[in-house]
Amino acid sequence: MSTADAPERKAATLPGDPPRILVIEAPYYRTVVEGMRHGAERVLAELDAEVEVAEVAGAYELPAALRLALEAQGVEDGPQWDGFLVLGCVVKGETDHYSFICDAVCKGIMDIAVETGAPIGFGLLTVDNLTQAEARSADDRHNKGIECAHAVIGQIALARRWGLQ
């Protein structure tokens, strides 16, 4: 499916109380990541979600920050989030660094998701150039932050349906 074929998403729905969402973002490409977050926030606003944002230095730190957030939830009187959005962008350069970072971050987030079952919306853009990233963070239906918000809402809905939240 090309970007031109991006599905039109229907309004978000979620049973129960408004969700609390932690957005963990790596704003190295700040305008791109902010564009994705703003797309996600529009979807979450439809649910009156409470959104908290935490920034990390770069994409490589995203899995560790997610792990820290999950551990903080296990502490008595610690923060309680219903779901997590992980946002960042890695643009391909002239070295192998791109591949190592993308592989490590994707595997790190997936390992945490599978191990914990935490509702996660994964929004790491892995692109060849900044033009591609800007197209995926624009204020339109191609915005990957919107897709991530719908993904995390769906995961929270499943957790609630199965009595896990």
pLDDT digits (tens, 9 = 90+) for 87-142: 999 999 988 899 999 999 999 999 999 999 999 999 999 999 999 999 999 999 99
Annotated binding site for 5-amino-6-(D-ribitylamino)uracil: 28, 59-61, 89-91, 122
Q: Is residue 1 part of a domain?
A: no
Residue 40: strand, helix, or coil:
helix
Q: Is residue 98 part of a domain?
A: yes
Q: Is residue 10 part of a domain?
A: no
Annotated binding site for (2S)-2-hydroxy-3-oxobutyl phosphate: 94-95, 136
Residue 154: strand, helix, or coil:
helix
Average pLDDT score over the chain: 93
Does 97 qualify as catalytic in the annotation? Answer: yes
Q: Is residue 39 part of a domain?
A: yes
How many residues would you count in the chain? 165
- Residue 23, phi then psi, degrees to nearest 5: -100, 120
Q: What share of the chain is helix, strand, coil (3-state, %, to 5)?
A: 50, 20, 35
**CATH classification of the domain holding 41:** 3.40.50.960
In this prediction, residue 74 carries a pLDDT of 82
Q: With a cut of 60, say whether residue 1 has pLDDT above it.
A: no
Range of the domain at 46: 15-161
**Domains: count for the chain:** 1
Query: Which residues are 84's β-sheet partners?
Result: 22, 120
> In whole angstroms, what is the distance from residue 165 CA to residue 158 CA?
9
Catalytic residue among 38, 97, 142, 150: 97
Nearest Cα neighbor of 144 from 74, 66, 88, 96 is 88
Q: With a cut of 90, say whether residue 29 has pLDDT above it.
A: yes
Nearest Cα neighbor of 81 from 150, 27, 144, 159 is 159
120 in Cβ contact with 109 (< 8 Å): yes
